[in-house]
Structure 1
Amino acid sequence: MTGAGRRVAASRRAPESSAAPATGTRPARVAVISAALLVLILAAYPGVLRNGFVNYDDQVYVTENPHVQAGLNGDSVAWAFTTTDQANWHPLTWLSHMLDVQLYGLDAGKHHSTSLILHAANALLLFLLLVRVTGALWRCAFVAALFAVHPLHVESVAWIAERKDVLSTLFWLLTLAAWLGYLGSRTAVRYALVVALYAAALMAKPMPVTLPFTLLLLDFWPLRRLAPPPGESREALPRLLLEKAPLVLMSVASCVVTFAAQRSGGSVETLQDFTFGERLANAALAYVSYLGKTLWPASLAVFYPHPHASPATWPVAAAALVLAAVTGISLRLASRAPFLAFGWLWYLGTLVPVIGLIQVGSQAMADRYTYVPLIGIFVAIAWGLSELGRRDRRTRYAIAGACAASLVALLPATRAQVGHWAGSEALYGHALAVTSDNWLAEEYLGRALFEQGKTDEAIVRYTESLRIHPGFAGGHNDLGIAFAQQGRIPEAIDQYDRALRLRPGSAEAHNNLGVALVRQGRVTEAIEQYEQALRLNPDLADACGNLGYALDRVGRRSEAIAQLERAVRLRPGSAGTHLGLGNALVGAGRVDAAIEQFGEALRLKPDSAEALNNLGLALTAANRLSEAIERFREALGVRPDFAEAHNNLGVALAHLSRSAEALEHFRQAVRLQPEFDQARANLRAAEEAGGDRP
């Protein structure tokens, strides 16, 4: 009788004590819940498919990255596996963006659809994994639903540049699934699959470095390999640690590579920037703030500025007390309510890499950092609520209703948060509305305004950003660009100099300083700046193109053409770069090659009056006068006040002895630009010759 009782108890708890598929979960119910999760995600995220790119890293990950723009080819794949661009080594993330570009071009909605599909896959996989190890169908469904629609997860899904979050999590969860398979059948092939999937997770984003720790948590609960139910054997802790040793080594290697990449990329802040005491204080506050935003997801922002100073003592002390109390309670109840310790330690442990002890960037916290850690909190909530309703049916129904209501309540909050990611202005405008002293939001809103031609408004934003954070090199660089746009070149140069004093390794600032120096006629000095920019970043297409233009101006034509050809390879979709190369080729007498480049520029930008005019000049040089006349007329159709095109059209017409028409266009050129010496000379010659060719 006693033995039978033990068998019944063991049978009830088997789903939480083995790696085998849980029993008692009907496949039909699993399928229905899976479908419901997909519907829930579609209800929460319909707006994401209408969102565009934002100017917060989307350009460096997709829209302005020449390697990504090239799609999947041998060179781009090799680059993905060897670069530490963006202060990270995440080749699979680069490959995913390349594949999207190859499939969809720059259709932002389709890029968003890839991230949404990955998020949906993660929610389904999380549900199936939890069902497999616990058998608690409805609790697992609630955890997966919270994961699917919580507003804190919007940043990971709706931000194209954060593809690495959803991609690495997919491989993280697949690694857990493979690990469960390995525990059921300990073969080298199964372990190799675990290693391969874990490597893929780390190659998408280094966040999964804590995966071995989460495996140990699974050993504690729900697998109960550390303290199994009666009648099952206990596995020794050394063996549990040893089986994970290869994964720990992979984690350590990833940490080393990531730290080196981030340090070389200038992302790791020094102890002079943030003291260790400030880091500890911010970590405590961040842990508690994330919990608060989990329970009440309001005032979410793309960037939460770090205070750059020691916060007041009492909030830090209160946060530390909360963390200590919850940790103590969860550990004290570990035997009776192991899910609490599991969920809390999962939350604490998986946040460690991004909690700020090693400060990367200037943010105090970030919504995206909660994508995996909140799984632990959701598990603790779901199982805790289940325990509360275990003995009373009415309580159980009330809890079920409250859970359903919470999911319904999250939907509009998530949809609204998705809307904030619709574009750059909406994103930063919202951040400024819900945070204070947000220098980065001011800065990037300024960039968005500048891109729309609102230079005065952009300068206001840049100035405010620098008032809050005067040591921000990027802000000085952007303010310099805005000043240059207004023709305030000395002020622009001053801002570039300030940026370079703060960050000597800024290739962009060196390039922009070169542009300003050219506008002052200081071409030789500009060449030095462009060359320095390319030493710092050999793939900076703007610097290649600008160096080519400058070299062409000082007569170093072969070097100019080489730089411009490299710029075209780096940015084949830039009409301006093709135009510059065409101009240099004309100067070198390579007219046919120039015609090809001008044609490519027009393919990319058919309404470019300058490209039409320059193509007309090249055709004139090739004695293809009728075609040249057509191009000049097209240029004037785009830009009727284009004095150079009027003059060039006059020259081509005069060559065909169409003197009266030529004379009229010379007059138009001089009327539009009275100081245009060449047009004045042509007009004078035509008039003196009585309409003869000039």
Structure 2
Amino acid sequence: MPRQSAGICLALIVMVFALYFQVGNHAFLNYDDNVYVTANPNVAGGITGESIIWAFTSFDASNWHPLTWLSHMVDVELFGMDPRGHHLTSVAIHALSTVLLFLLLLRITGSRWHSSCVAVFFAIHPLHVESVAWVAERKDVLSAFFWFLTLLLYASYTVQQKRVFYLLALASFALGLMAKPMLVTLPVVMLLLDYWPLGRCRTGGADGEGRSFRVLVREKVPFFACALASSILTVFAQRSEGAIKSLGAVPFPLRLENSLVSYGAYLGNIIWPDDLAILYPIPSSYPLWQVIGSLFVLLFVSVATVRARHRFPYLAVGWLWFLVTLVPVIGLLQVGVQSMADRYTYIPSIGLFIMAVWGIPELLAGFTYRMAILTLLAGAVIGAKTAVTWQQLGYWRDNFSLYEQTLKVTDDNYVIHNNLGIAHADAWNLDAAIGEFRKALRINPNYAEAHYNLGIALAMKGELDMAIREFREALRIHPGDAKANYNLGVALEQKRQLLGSGK
């Protein structure tokens, strides 16, 4: 590796750690960190024969991602339940992914300046805080690492035509899918890169040479096969855990509206990140102007970039990268209660970075002070994004700061009210906890978990009659809930004992 490129790689690593090092002082969250680490007995025991088998056979957390489970187990082996090590491991993986992204773009474009600029934007963008600072999102940074490694190996294969690089790329892709199934769109991105900058497509090369599209697709059949297998496993896992919402719960017209509006929102947040939250609830409907406006923007940019593909191929490739990689999480197959999520932009945002970094210099071609303008513009963007990311990272230090900030910038967020209530209950702030649970239930009266948690808080406070009523309401909504049944029985027994004692 040339000395200058090695220096850029080192600078990228230093930049990531300097920006993200504060997460070493952050706590675990009660939102999914308990599912993935702190309250998961299979992970909390570290690496054992049984835990390895469990990782490869489990559909816990509504996914099949054994590599993610194994990474959490390794952290437990190394750091126990000290959150510092778990957080900094994710930072380290993010730093390595940033380096791989730089090396990938440098390899396929030959442009050191453009490649380093895209890598910096990836390293510091505020939307990526959720992926890096949330222990439960280890799957995001881990799968992205294999995304970039796969493409780097694929680029080596296209240059050297050595079968070993193809096989290594396929193996890396399989590992990435075992970290997070969102990588299913990677074969399509490989085809995009065949067009630009690799110029392997017959219509993509400047001299008209190259392979036919059919040949390039056939070359990637093993990758598409792996993606299909991962997709089937994922749908099966999510159905088995009840994570996929029915059309009755979220009607298809609302899903379609949400998908269009989310595309527009992702585009806006990548350009101007503001009012970021850990959970954006899906509303009951969207204003017509938002749906039509988002559809217009998507169609306009799509048509414009495709029409300009011969002169500015990076615009079409970057835009399609953004659109295609969001498809698995855009909401047509609704999983969970969120309308969108910052973490979903971790890989898709790169497409827009490519458009900006290659497109803006072209736009300023012919300007007298072009380099000075580009330098000032890049510096301003990097400075602004870094400041927002630093501020955003501060919100993730614990449950209270994160949830209170989320409630400031979102409406009707009953899940976050519930989680904030749990945090207050764990700190024995029972009145505050009860207040949060009741806020959650005012928004969604049929939220069984909030009824259950309210019952627990009331029982802790000694208000057994009210606690019994909440446990029964939770069981009305979710009959057979083991925890609610058990705690209802405990509360009834306590009440019987109190009555028997004459109190």
Q: Smaller-chain TM-score range?
A: over 0.9
Is 1:262 aligned to residue 238 of structure 2?
yes
Q: Secondary structure at the match of 2:205?
A: coil
User: Aligned partners of 1:247, 1:139: CA distance in 2, in Å?
Assistant: 28
State the structure with bigger RCO (CA 8 A, min sep 6), 1 or 2: 2
User: Aligned partners of 1:67, 1:258: CA distance in 2, in Å?
Assistant: 20
- Letter of the structure 1 residue corresponding to residue 81 of structure 2: L
- Letter of the structure 1 residue corresponding to residue 29 of structure 2: V
User: Aligned partners of 2:267, 2:169: CA distance in 1, in Å?
Assistant: 32
Residue among 93, 96, 106 paired with 2:81: 106
User: Aligned partners of 1:71, 1:40: CA distance in 2, in Å?
Assistant: 31
Is 1:142 aligned to residue 142 of structure 2?
no
Aligned to 2:304: 329
The answer to whether the 8 Å contact 1:139/1:386 transfers is no
User: Aligned partners of 2:303, 2:245: CA distance in 1, in Å?
Assistant: 32
Q: Deviations over 1:15-57 (max 9, x none)?
A: xxxxxxxxxxx81221222222123213321311111111111
User: Aligned partners of 2:185, 2:475: CA distance in 1, in Å?
Assistant: 37
Q: Deviations over 1:560-587 (max 9, x none)?
A: xxxxxxxxxxxxxxxxxxxxxxxxxxxx
User: Aligned partners of 2:421, 2:463: CA distance in 1, in Å?
Assistant: 18
Residue among 258, 261, 277 paired with 2:253: 277
The answer to whether the 8 Å contact 2:24/2:85 transfers is yes
Aligned to 1:60: 35
- Letter of the structure 1 residue corresponding to residue 135 of structure 2: I
Aligned pairs for 1:357-376 (under 5 A) are 357-376=332-351
The answer for unaligned runs of 5 or more in structure 1 is: 1-25, 523-674, 676-694
The answer to whether the 8 Å contact 2:259/2:331 transfers is yes
User: Aligned partners of 1:446, 1:311: CA distance in 2, in Å?
Assistant: 29
The answer to whether the 8 Å contact 1:58/1:161 transfers is yes
Q: Secondary structure at the match of 1:45?
A: helix
Aligned to 2:51: 76
Aligned to 1:356: 331
Q: Deviations over 1:598-623 (max 9, x none)?
A: xxxxxxxxxxxxxxxxxxxxxxxxxx
Shift of 1:404: 1.4
Residue among 194, 210, 216 paired with 1:219: 194
Residue among 246, 264, 268 paired with 1:288: 264
Is 1:129 aligned to residue 139 of structure 2?
no
Q: Deviations over 1:294-315 (max 9, x none)?
A: 11111101111110x2212111
Shift of 1:231: 4.5
User: Aligned partners of 1:344, 1:489: CA distance in 2, in Å?
Assistant: 58
User: Aligned partners of 2:264, 2:483: CA distance in 1, in Å?
Assistant: 38
Aligned-residue Cα RMSD (Å) equals 1.7
Is 1:175 aligned to residue 150 of structure 2?
yes
Cα 1:409/1:114, change in 2 over 3 Å: same
Shift of 1:497: 2.7
The answer to whether the 8 Å contact 1:302/1:367 transfers is yes
- Letter of the structure 2 residue corresponding to residue 43 of structure 1: A
The answer to whether the 8 Å contact 2:103/2:152 transfers is no
The answer for unaligned runs of 5 or more in structure 2 is: none
- Letter of the structure 1 residue corresponding to residue 282 of structure 2: H
User: Aligned partners of 1:137, 1:373: CA distance in 2, in Å?
Assistant: 21
User: Aligned partners of 2:275, 2:381: CA distance in 1, in Å?
Assistant: 18
Aligned pairs for 1:452-467 (under 5 A) are 452-467=427-442
After TM superposition, the structure 1 stretch with the greater mean CA deviation from structure 2, 473-482 or 390-399, is 390-399
Residue among 260, 266, 285 paired with 1:310: 285
Aligned to 1:484: 459
Percent identity (aligned): 46
- Letter of the structure 1 residue corresponding to residue 231 of structure 2: C
Aligned to 1:42: 17
Aligned to 1:496: 471
- Letter of the structure 2 residue corresponding to residue 272 of structure 1: G
Aligned pairs for 1:167-566 (under 5 A) are 167-226=142-201, 227-231=203-207, 233-307=209-283, 309-504=284-479, 506-520=481-495
Q: If you compute each CA radius of gyration, which structure gives the higher value, 1 or 2?
A: 1
The answer to whether the 8 Å contact 2:195/2:205 transfers is no
The answer to whether the 8 Å contact 2:438/2:454 transfers is yes
The answer to whether the 8 Å contact 1:69/1:98 transfers is yes
- Letter of the structure 1 residue corresponding to residue 28 of structure 2: F
User: Aligned partners of 1:190, 1:130: CA distance in 2, in Å?
Assistant: 17
TM-score, normalised via structure 2 length? 0.95
Shift of 1:480: 1.4
- Letter of the structure 1 residue corresponding to residue 31 of structure 2: Y
